[in-house]
């Protein structure tokens, strides 16, 4: 394309448009004001959502990215504006979420002088970004932004931060834009080794008790169809990490449930009884493995992974297949024998019956007077029919949501996994709904996490985005309280919450709100919420001391999972 002389600030907007961006989240301030001035001029092409706190911008961008598979974009000013992005950036880094953060910075001549609202955001964000860069000259803007988008979305995705000094926003350049397709020394997709695929297939075909563990890599590589084909052809039971949830429909007969600390009984116990463990796009997080010294020592381990840093990091592999997962599973499928593994499946069914009797029936059909979190999730399932995007915060309600939510399609479970960020859900639900306006989006939040980003109700009010918000209120920091009950002799140190009137607050933002305290009112309230064409706030008063089980205590083996 031809060149035109424009300001650096206008170049930023044009770069975003060239990358197909039509929605950004942010909060203006002095050092980023030139970019906001251009946003105003381009508002018909690039929609800006004014959040109420910069952390909300990152979580909204994350929710948008996770629900759509596109790159989310957040914008903030220098100093506190930039530092307020850091939690969301760290969350995106550990959960492999593609995101671009653009921050303003003081003028080049003021760098290092402790000028007003100057902060070394490059130094601060280096450990929690996939890449970052400070632009000090307007001429750098097109190439750096092109590079940023390529890095954020390629290979194992992640967040990129671009810091732009104020002089670079004002100065003029001859603008032209070329998308980045490669960077020297950066190899985001390892070249598939077909010999490794063949070795993996041989182990799988010989296995008597093979077990698939799948993570978010399936979703990021868009390998859902290949995963489904693999489990159906091989007959291998498959369990998921919480970020892998929804890659395979929850009611699929070969989907045996959730791994990890609060996962299902069978998948955890039988991890230590399988003979071949097949890990697909997951990183053997400590919440999945428990004590590594006793984790799957009897099994040959096959690890399909795109990031070489994750292979042999926690669990020693027998065969490692380094490649994009969609590509590697496509190569694997023709080599896999048809099988059913019926007797092996029966072991999972037996373990499920134990869990059903000991945990699930009491949670979904409680005999106590108080409402349980699990039955609330089940009621949402009844009215969503498994078609909603569920955005959960962090805590007990998150584990209940992941354990009991039903999903028919991929990219339906949006939650903070590796970082465990309270306050994630409300802004992330805004981003998910804006990214997928035709899908119902339900935020499941605890009374603690809700108050960390409660101000984003203002964003919902101003934008009229029709998200559904469910606060499961037990008047405790529930997960911490559970640990205090089980491991600290019920010393509930600083975990009881004295909460405000959430209904009045929601109504103060002109959001329709309802509070449920009795079981007989729950069905009608959820039905009304799901039928609403506008945003809706539902507070459900749940049992104060309801615990999430099963549970693997910290440092214990997956075989030592507790049912009570």
**Which residues are catalytic, by number?**
54, 116-117, 166, 479
User: What are φ and ψ of residue 415, in 5° steps?
Assistant: -150, 165
Query: Which residues share a beta bridge with 415?
Result: 392
CA end-to-end distance (rounded Å), the chain: 66
Question: Using DSSP, how many helices (H) and how many strands (E) does the chain show?
Answer: 24, 20
Give CA–CA dist 329/347, Å, rounded.
Answer: 26
Give CA–CA dist 62/92, Å, rounded.
Answer: 7
Which sign does the torsion angle of CA 160, 165, 166, 168 carry? negative
Closest to 296 (Cα-Cα) out of 555, 550, 551, 557: 557
Residues 6+ apart with CB under 8 A from 336: 201, 204, 205, 230, 233, 234
Read off the tokens for 413: 């479970």
Q: Cβ–Cβ contacts within 10 Å for residue 536, how many?
A: 22
Closest to 38 (Cα-Cα) out of 46, 30, 29: 46
> What is the enclosing helix (H) or strand (E) of 481?
helix 478-487
**What is the 3 state secondary structure string of 380-431?**
HHHHHCCCCEEEECCCHHHHHHHHHCCCCCCCCEEECCCCCCCCCHHHHHHH
Closest to 102 (Cα-Cα) out of 52, 173, 152, 175: 152
Q: Which DSSP letter does residue 338 get?
A: P
Q: Cβ–Cβ contacts within 10 Å for residue 194, how many?
A: 14
User: What are φ and ψ of residue 298, in 5° steps?
Assistant: -85, -10
Residue 299 three-state SS: coil
């Amino acid at each position: 394309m031809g060149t035109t002389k424009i300001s650096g600030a206008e170049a930023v907007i044009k770069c975003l448009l060239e990358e197909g961006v039509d929605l950004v989240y942010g909060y203006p301030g002095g050092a980023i004001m030139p970019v906001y001035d251009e946003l105003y001029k381009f508002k018909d092409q690039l929609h800006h959502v004014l959040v109420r706190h910069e952390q909300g911008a990152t979580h909204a961008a994350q929710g948008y990215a996770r629900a759509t598979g596109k790159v989310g974009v957040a914008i903030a000013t220098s100093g506190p504006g930039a530092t307020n992005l850091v939690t969301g950036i760290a969350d995106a880094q550990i959960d492999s979420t593609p995101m671009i953060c653009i921050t303003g910075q003081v003028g080049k001549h003021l760098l290092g002088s402790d000028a007003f609202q100057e902060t070394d955001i490059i130094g601060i964000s280096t450990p929690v970004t996939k890449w970052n860069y400070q632009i000090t000259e307007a001429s750098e803007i097109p190439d750096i932004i092109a590079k940023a988008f390529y890095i954020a979305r390629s290979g194992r995705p992640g967040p990129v931060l671009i810091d732009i000094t104020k002089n670079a926003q004002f100065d003029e350049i001859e603008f032209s834009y070329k998308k980045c397709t490669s960077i020297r020394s950066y190899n985001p997709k390892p070249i598939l080794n077909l010999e490794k695929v063949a070795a993996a297939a041989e182990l799988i075909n010989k296995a008597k008790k093979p077990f698939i563990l799948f993570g978010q890599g399936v979703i990021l590589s868009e390998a859902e169809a290949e995963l489904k084909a693999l489990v159906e052809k091989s007959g291998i039971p498959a369990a998921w990490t919480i970020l892998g949830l929804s890659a395979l429909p929850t009611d699929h007969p070969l989907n045996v449930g959730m791994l990890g600390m609060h996962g299902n009984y069978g998948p955890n116990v039988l991890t230590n009884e399988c003979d071949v463990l097949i890990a697909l796009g997951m990183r053997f997080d400590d919440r999945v493995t428990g004590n590594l010294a006793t984790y799957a020592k009897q099994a040959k381990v096959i690890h399909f992974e795109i990031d070489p840093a994750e292979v042999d990091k926690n669990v020693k592999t027998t065969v490692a297949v380094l490649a994009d997962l969609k590509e590697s599973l496509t190569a694997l499928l023709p080599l896999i024998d048809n099988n059913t593994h019926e007797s092996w499946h029966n072991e999972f069914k037996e373990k499920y019956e134990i869990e059903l009797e000991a945990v699930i029936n009491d949670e979904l059909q409680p005999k106590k007077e108080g409402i349980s979190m699990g039955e609330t999730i089940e009621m949402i399932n009844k009215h969503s029919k498994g078609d909603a995007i569920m955005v959960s915060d962090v805590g007990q309600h998150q584990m209940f949501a992941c354990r009991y939510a039903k999903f028919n399609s991929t990219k339906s479970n949006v939650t903070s996994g590796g970082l465990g960020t309270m306050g994630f859900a409300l802004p992330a639900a805004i981003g998910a709904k804006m990214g997928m306006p035709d899908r119902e989006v339900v935020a499941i939040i605890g009374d603690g996490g809700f108050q960390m980003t409660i101000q984003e109700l203002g964003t919902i009010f101003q934008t009229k985005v029709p998200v559904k918000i469910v606060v499961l209120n037990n008047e405790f920091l529930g997960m911490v309280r559970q640990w205090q009950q089980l491991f600290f002799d019920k010393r509930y140190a600083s975990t009881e919450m004295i909460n405000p009137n959430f209904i009045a607050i929601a109504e103060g933002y002109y959001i329709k709100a309802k509070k449920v305290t009795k079981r007989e009112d729950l069905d009608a309230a959820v039905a009304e919420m799901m039928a609403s064409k506008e945003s809706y706030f539902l507070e459900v008063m749940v049992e104060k001391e309801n615990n999430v089980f099963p549970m693997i205590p910290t440092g214990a083996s997956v075989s030592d999972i507790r049912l009570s």
